[in-house]
Amino acid sequence: MNRQASSPLPDDPSPAEPTTATQPTEAHNLLQHDPEYWLEDGNSTIIAGNVEFRVYKGPLLTNSPVFKDTLSLPQPDGTSGSQCICGTKPAVLHVSDSPEDLRHIFRALLPGKTPRVAPDDLSFGAVSACVRLGHKDEIDEIVQRSLDYLKKSFVESFETWARVDPPRPPAFEANHSIGVVNIARMTSTDVLLPTALMGCCMLNSTELVNGFTREDGTQEKLSAEDIGRCFLGRANLM
């Protein structure tokens, strides 16, 4: 498990348990409250990169065995730290995920400052984050919902594919087919591959080889094997 709880001792880089307090440090002073998920009465503080999220832990404990294990650890007694308005000290958890990815997971699971009456067309960033973090944190319902959304566009049979445009949801770009191939590989959802790989074959060579940059700055690229499949497929199609 790649989640680590914070420690009240600033010189301990890899503590085993979360804590409700952290001594003032230069790094701590650089942390920013997330504008969407900093709830004054929240009972858990989760830190990703330089962003602090204050949220309700109940939905996280219910939906993710990984969060249940880490956020349910007992908190040290006698430590100083900020309190939420309910009077209890929130647990503090450091995670290795990007703030952008974590925000998408919270939007799927938790109430925030902006009510969501009806979901908009999902972006690739939202779907990708929900699948990748949901897969890692064992949030099965989010993973399945995201895969079902992709299956509406990346269909199993070419006979049901509208061939006018590359297959993709309304908010996706053409090069996001690369990410869908990687999602299919990671989750063993082979039904996404025929039209996702077809979408990759329709990219120019530079896009196909270099991939694209996700919203958190990381690079999304096909494996060497899938790049080879796409070049071979394009030659056969020609």
Do residues 194 and 186 make contact, with C-beta atoms less than 8 angstroms apart? no
Does position 30 have pLDDT exceeding 50, yes or no? yes
Question: Which residue did the predictor score with more confidence, 218 or 156?
Answer: 218
3-class DSSP assignment, residue 73: coil
Mean pLDDT of 108-113: 82
- Averaged pLDDT of the chain: 81
Q: Which residue has the tokens 């996404």?
A: 192
pLDDT in tens, 162-191: 555 666 888 999 999 999 999 999 999 999
- Amino acid identity at 194: P
User: What's domain 4-109's architecture?
Assistant: 2-Layer Sandwich (3.30)
Mean pLDDT of 64-78: 74
What pLDDT score was predicted for residue 88? 57
pLDDT in tens, 34-64: 999 999 889 899 999 999 999 999 999 999 9
Identify the weakest region by mean pLDDT among 9-13, 163-167, 203-207, 233-237. 9-13
**Which residues, including other chains, have CB under 8 Å from residue 25's CB and lie 6 or more apart?**
10
Angle at 187 between CA 164 and CA 107, to 5 degrees: 80
What pLDDT score was predicted for residue 38? 94
Helices (H) and strands (E) in the chain, counts: 10, 7
What pLDDT score was predicted for residue 80? 35
- Residue 212 phi/psi, 5° resolution? -145, 170
What pLDDT score was predicted for residue 112? 76
pLDDT in tens, 132-167: 999 999 999 999 999 999 998 898 766 666 555 666
Identify the weakest region by mean pLDDT among 29-38, 68-77, 144-153. 68-77
Domain ranges for the chain, please list them.
4-109, 124-237
| Displacement of CA 102 from its chain's centroid (Å) | 5
How many Å apart are CA 147 and CA 142, to the nearest integer? 9
What pLDDT score was predicted for residue 75? 56
Candidates 68, 139, 130; CA nearest to 97 is 130
- Amino acid identity at 158: F
Mean pLDDT of 65-77: 76
Do residues 130 and 146 make contact, with C-beta atoms less than 8 angstroms apart? yes
What pLDDT score was predicted for residue 13? 44
Q: What is the pTM of this model?
A: 0.77
Does position 3 have pLDDT exceeding 80, yes or no? no
Q: Bin 187: left if φ > 0, else alpha if -120 < ψ < 50, else beta.
A: alpha
Mean pLDDT of 81-93: 60
Report in angstroms the alpha-carbon separations of 139 from 4, 11, 63.
18, 33, 6
What residues pair up with 213 in beta bridges, in sequence order? 219
Question: Which residue did the predictor score with more confidence, 20 or 226?
Answer: 226
Candidates 224, 119, 136, 122; CA nearest to 187 is 136
